[in-house]
Chains A and B, each alone.
Chain A
Amino acid sequence: MSLDYLLDAANWSLTSPDGFPQRILEHLGYTALALAIAALVAFPIGLLIGHTGRGALIAINLGNAGRALPTLGVLMLMLALVGIGLVPVTIALVVLAIPPILATTYAGIRSVPDETVDAARGVGMTESQIAWRVEVPIALPIIIGGLRNASLQVVSTATIAAYAGLGGLGRYLFDGLATLQYDQVVAGAVVLAVLAVVIDLVLAGAQRLLVSPGVDGRGADNSPTTNRPAEPISSTA
C-alpha cells in the first residue's frame, strides 16, 4: 500500500479526463443532482405532513422502508429496467437521500411549539405564512441536520456511479480493485473522505448563516437576561 498515486502530480492535472479534479467534479455533480431531487420531493411532503399532522404514519413508514432498501440492489434493479447511465444511479441515490430529509423535515416542523403556531394563526397569518415564516425558520436547524446526514450518505454512496459505467471517485475504487492497483484504491478513498468532510463543513457554515440566533441559542450567549428588579408587594388591591 502506498500513497504514490495520491501524491502523483500528474493525477491532479486539471485537464486530464481521469485526474482527481475531473473525478471530484463528476462526483459532486451526481451528489448534488440526487440531493436536489430528493429535497424537492421530500421537503414539501415533510412540510405538508408536519404542518397538517396528517399522513405522517404513511410517509414515515415509506421513508423507513426506503431506508431499508440496499442502494446497490436498487441500482441493479434500475440498471435492469432502464440500462446503464445517469438515470439509474440518480434514482438509487435519491431513494437513499429521501428518508433522512423527509423524516427530519417532518420532525422539525412538529417540534415547533403549539403555542407558537397558535400565536401565528391568532395574529392573522395564513396557513402558508405559518409554514414558511414561522415553522420552517424554527425547524431549520433540524431540517439542515437531515440534509447534512443525507449528503454524507449520498456522497459516499455515489461511488456506485462508476459501477454503472459513469465517472466520479468510484472509478478509482472499482478500477483499482479490478487491476489490483491498491494505491489507486487508497487514493480514491482518501479523496472521498476529505470531500465528505468538506461538504459537511460547507453545510454547517450555511446552517450558521441561515438559522436565526434566536433559534439555535447563539442569541443567548452575549447578553444575560436582565430582570426588572422585584418591587415590594404592595397592599393596595
Chain B
Amino acid sequence: MIEFEGVTKRYPDGTVAVEDLSLKVETGRITVFVGPSGCGKTTALRMINRMIQPTSGRILIDGDDVTSRPDADLRRGIGYVIQGAGLFPHRTVLDNVATVPVLQGVSRREARASARELLERVGLSANLGDRYPSQLSGGQQQRVGVARALAADPPVLLMDEPFSAVDPVVRDDLQQELLRLQGDLGKTIVLVTHDIDEAIRLGDKVAVFAQGARLAQYAAPADLLAVPADDFVSSLVGRDRGFRGLGFADGAEIALKPVGHTVDGLTLELDADGRPVGWRGPDGLLPTEGTFSDGANLRTITDLVILSPAGAAVRVDEHGRADGLVLVEDLAGRVRTQQRERLAALTQDQVEEAEAG
C-alpha cells in the first residue's frame, strides 16, 4: 500500500502544485490519477519515487517512509515508465531492459537473458533485442519502456502518461496489453493520465484531481460514472456517462426471447448449424450487425440493439449458435432497473454522509 499523508509541494516561487494530499493506493491494483494539465497529478506521482521532494507531509510504501532509503536505492525498487518511454538511445533494446538488474549487480549476461524473456512478455519478438531504440516504432519503444520497468520485478510500478505519445490504435493495443500483464503480475500500479477514458478503462480505482491536486473524487470507475461527486467530475467524465456507465453493468439479468420470435415483421434466419445469418423480412435479408455471448455488459448489448434493424440483439452460445434475443423493450426495462438501483445507492450514500457530517 502506498499512503500519502498530508503531502504538499510548494515551489520557491510560491506555486502550489499539490496541497495537503492524503490518499491510499491499494496493493496489487491499478490506481489512476486523472485530471487536467497542471492539476498536480504528475507531481504527486513523482513524489512517490522522490523525483520530486515534498515540502511537507510524508509518503509511505508498505509502512516505510520513502525518505528512509537513499534515492537511487528506492528507485531501483520501483518501476518507472514515462511518456515517450525515455529509452537510452546508445544502448540496444536488451541492454535498456537489463538496466536495473545490472545496476543491482546482476551479471550482464544473466540480465540480458532475462531481458529477452521479458520482451516476449510485453508482446515484442525477442529478436528486436539487438536493435537500437531509434529503429523501433513509438508503440514498440513504449513496450520496451514497460519491460525495462518490470525487469527487476519491482512490486510497485509508476507510469507517467505512458500511452499519450502513440496513436489511438496503438494506444488501444497497449492498454489491452497492460491489463493482460497486470492480470498475470498483480503489481501495485499508479498511472497518470489526462484521458478520462483511459482512466476508466485501466483503473481499479480512479483519483480525479482538480487544481492543486485537490482530490475531487476517489472511487471505482463505475462509481465515478454513476455518481460524480461534483460538477467538476461530471464535466470531466463527459456527456455520455450514462451510456458508458452501462459498461460496468452485467447483462445477464435481461429477459430473453426465443430465437424464433418475430420482431416487427423480421425473423432471425439461421444456417444448418444454428448460427445466425441475418434478419429475413419483406425487404430481403438484413445483417444482424453482430452478436454477444454470456458475460457481455449492458453497454455492448445496448450498442447491438441500437444497430440492429430489428431492434434486437442476438445472443450466441460458445459454438456461435443463436440461443436468445434481447428486444429493445426488455433492454429498456433492465436499464431502468439499473438506474433506479444506482440512484437508490446514491441516496443511501447521501443519507450516510449527512449522518456522518
> Which residues on A are within 8 Å of B, measured CB to CB?
113, 115-116, 118-126, 129, 134, 137-138, 212-215, 217, 219-220, 223, 225-228, 230-231, 233-237
Contacts and interface: CB of A to CB of B under 8 A. Distances in A.
Interface stretch (B128-136, B254-262, B312-320, B345-353): B128-136
Contact of A217 (B72, B134, B172, B299): B134
Contact of A123 (B90, B99, B137): B99
Nearest to A114: B86
A75 to B, nearest CB: 40
B186 interface: no
Nearest to A121: B51
Given A223-B135, A230-B169, A123 B92 contact: no
Contact of B172 (A116, A123, A212, A233): A233
Nearest to B103: A124
Interface in B38-76: 49, 51, 72-76
Nearest to B290: A235
Nearest to A138: B90
B169 A214 contact: no
Given A115-B83, A137-B90, A230-B169, A122 B51 contact: yes
A226 B137 CA distance: 7
A123 B84 contact: no
A226 to B, nearest CB: 8
A129 B51 CA distance: 16
A116 B100 CA distance: 15
A64 B93 CA distance: 40
Nearest to A129: B103
Interface residues of B, number: 48
B136 A123 contact: no
B173 interface: yes
B161 to A, nearest CB: 11
Contacts of A219: 131-132, 134-135
Contacts of B218: none
B132 A213 contact: yes
Nearest to A120: B88
B92 A237 contact: no
Contacts of A119: 80, 82, 85-88, 145
A227 B51 CA distance: 33
B91 A212 contact: yes
Given A115-B83, A123-B75, A219-B134, 20 more contacts: A115-B84, A116-B88, A122-B51, A122-B80, A122-B158, A123-B103, A124-B72, A124-B73, A124-B76, A125-B103, A126-B72, A129-B72, A134-B88, A213-B132, A214-B92, A215-B90, A217-B134, A219-B131, A228-B137, A236-B300
Contacts of A214: 89-92, 132-134
Nearest to B124: A228
Interface string B122-160: 000000000111111101100001001100000000100
B89 A116 contact: yes
B205 interface: no
Contacts of A223: 131, 135
A220 B136 CA distance: 9
A227 B303 CA distance: 32
A225 B168 CA distance: 19
B251 interface: no
Given A123-B148, A138-B90, A212 B140 contact: no
A212 B132 contact: yes
B132 A231 contact: no
10 contacts: A115-B83, A119-B80, A119-B86, A122-B49, A124-B103, A137-B90, A214-B90, A225-B137, A233-B172, A237-B299
B326 to A, nearest CB: 17
A125 B72 CA distance: 6
A237 B73 contact: no
Contacts of B131: 219, 223
Interface in B224-254: 244, 247
Nearest to A126: B72
B180 interface: no
Nearest to B149: A123
Contact of B82 (A115, A137, A217, A226): A115
B121 interface: no
A231 B169 contact: yes
Interface in B148-199: 148-149, 158, 168-170, 172-173, 197
Nearest to B136: A225
B342 interface: no
Nearest to A223: B135
Contact of B75 (A121, A138, A220): A121
A60 to B, nearest CB: 25
B201 interface: yes
B76 A123 contact: yes
A3 to B, nearest CB: 47
The 6 closest A-B pairs by CB, nearest first: A214-B132, A119-B86, A124-B76, A124-B75, A212-B90, A122-B80
A220 B135 CA distance: 6
B100 A124 contact: yes
B325 to A, nearest CB: 20
Contacts of B139: 227-228
Contacts of A120: 88
Contact of A122 (B82, B135, B140): B82
